[in-house]
Chain A
């Protein structure tokens, strides 16, 4: 399909989704350095929070060295053109925290729910609109709902006030036809002025192909991450995606070479492990498991002696979803007991 002349808004995730890949350990200075460089490269939206978003600091999701407010204020004050965005998952983050993020300079928000539970977000979306924020309804683990279901959930998000509805491939499970079917179903029911976005993970190596498929089906906003820094095998690598767009004549407005430099010179040296499709992240994509489970399951594997791949496959079978990180440890313990590696405590 000829996409020449299409205009797409890019949204960088390396300072939010990338927090997962760094066990939430990115410093304020690093955030400012990355965000400043992305801003200079013309990236219009930069997401900045704990990996699990507002309210994310917890035993469940790990503690970052700084509060969300500290990160957002430090970054927002340095932006020349980019808008700072945040993630808010109802049930974890609250409207008080959204107000506080706004006060620190955040002007855009992904209000995220599991792909069947949009009706847990009406208050948060309405509140974001009241604050005047660019507001997205973000349907996570979108492979677990069929295209008609996604369309109904997206319609709900739109009715609460979302400017944009995202199909979010949290498990990096989808193939281009899956993406097209869902985006197409949304496009058929949403108002023409409501935008559609796609957020990919690269667990099956499909981040770029899926994002292009999304654009073909009508998406105008694409999430990616410089050097792919994100959960699992990472997000759609933003500089690679920008290069593909440039070849196809899709207009992103970013400076490709500057973006390549950010990825190569700033992000890659920050990585604790090479974010790539390895055995475990491939398992996420293959089994349809939430990408953030990657490092948690590796830790549980080390502690209880059950291979991470076995834990991930079992979590996929039990249909665990984003936010249920506690069930990784629980599942690993149950499996270890069944394999005679752990003794039951009592009753």
Chain B
């Protein structure tokens, strides 16, 4: 079966984990990996796995886009260079999946709004943040039943799974995730809290989601909606697990989740990184299926 050919920009942990996930996909094929350091381990590993590589950044990829028929690119670099990467690749008709906090395109949480983005043939979609991917489905599961005035999420991440980029820009993480809780989760006000825990052995990613409903929450319908949503996320992140709740206290609904990764390249405790790569892969697959069916066509953005 024909597959859509992909490029991975950024040769760090996320980019490397993406190779594994994309290689398993029935509709995607990883072809290029782009780095900036010729001696990087990530590029060496990509070559061993059969990918073409360049250490010249996105400019090193551009001359090969058309001849290698690259149609989807994943950007796992940084918010600072993403806009430029996206502009250059969009101009060649390559659709961008943004795993940085740049968020120049619409925010995407697969079970909530991916179909919408694919139908509109968005040429750049943003994957928000790990905490966003792990918690917004639950906020949406509540807000699709009853109005949510306020939603708050607490993400606990193992210290080993949080890279220097996130560490140096924690405010960005807070702002991006809070605003996505509103825009995609459907809460009128959102707040995100992050905790980095150094315990050994590393703790598996935990997330607590709390929603305040406008009216007395309908326990039965909200619980059913949440369980259904968990099932949707489990389709691409099998380690997405309800630990406790939903528990109700007046207008407050609380859900306690755990996210274990698949352990492809990243260790299992790093569910926070895995849910990003899994959601990004799932997003690319939806676009790829539509392209292969001929129902959408990617056009150069000029």
Binding site for B on A (CB under 8 A): 58-60, 90-92, 94-96, 114, 116-117, 119-120, 122-124, 144, 318-324, 326-327, 329-330, 333-334, 345-347
Identify A91's interface contact among B194, B198, B210, CB under 8 A. Answer: B194
Q: What is the chain B residue whose CB lies nearest that of A95?
A: B171
Residues of B with C-beta under 8 A to A122: 168
Give the interface segment out of B5-13, B136-144, B245-253: B245-253
B226 to chain A, nearest CB (A): 9
Determine if B77 is an interface residue (Cβ-Cβ < 8 Å).
no
Determine if B179 is an interface residue (Cβ-Cβ < 8 Å).
no
Q: What sequence of 0s and 1s flags, for each residue 238-249 of chain B, a beta carbon within 8 Å of any chain A beta carbon?
A: 000011111100
CA gap between A129 and B199 in the complex, in Å: 31
CA gap between A323 and B154 in the complex, in Å: 9
The answer on a CB contact under 8 Å between A59 and B210 is: yes
Binding site for A on B (CB under 8 A): 150, 152, 154, 156, 159, 164, 167-171, 173-175, 191, 193-199, 203, 206, 208, 210, 212, 223, 227, 230, 242-247, 252, 254, 256
A72 to chain B, nearest CB (A): 20
With A59-B252, A330-B243, A333-B247 as contacts: A323 and B171 at CB distance below 8 Å: no
Identify B152's interface contact among A59, A346, A347, CB under 8 A. Answer: A59
Residues of B with C-beta under 8 A to A320: 197
13 interchain pairs, CB-CB under 8 A: A59-B150, A59-B210, A60-B154, A91-B173, A91-B174, A92-B194, A95-B171, A119-B168, A318-B203, A326-B208, A327-B206, A333-B245, A345-B242
The answer on a CB contact under 8 Å between A123 and B169 is: yes
B169 to chain A, nearest CB (A): 7
The answer on a CB contact under 8 Å between A91 and B230 is: no
Scoring A59, A60, A120, A324 by chain B CB atoms within 10 A of each residue's CB, the highest score goes to A59
Given A119-B164, A119-B167, 11 other A-B contacts at CB below 8 A?
A58-B152, A60-B208, A60-B210, A123-B171, A124-B171, A322-B195, A327-B156, A333-B244, A334-B244, A345-B223, A346-B242
CA gap between A347 and B244 in the complex, in Å: 10
Secondary structure dominating the interface of B? strand
Residues of B with C-beta under 8 A to A144: 198
Residues of A with C-beta under 8 A to B230: 347
The answer on a CB contact under 8 Å between A116 and B159 is: yes
The answer on a CB contact under 8 Å between A326 and B154 is: yes
Q: What is the chain A residue whose CB lies nearest that of B196?
A: A117
Scoring B167, B169, B194, B203 by chain A CB atoms within 10 A of each residue's CB, the highest score goes to B167
Residues of A with C-beta under 8 A to B242: 345-347
Residues of A with C-beta under 8 A to B199: 318-319, 321
A310 to chain B, nearest CB (A): 17
CA gap between A333 and B152 in the complex, in Å: 20
A311 to chain B, nearest CB (A): 13
B81 to chain A, nearest CB (A): 19
Residues of B with C-beta under 8 A to A96: 171
Q: What is the chain B residue whose CB lies nearest that of A344?
A: B244
Residues of B with C-beta under 8 A to A326: 154, 208, 256
CA gap between A59 and B256 in the complex, in Å: 14
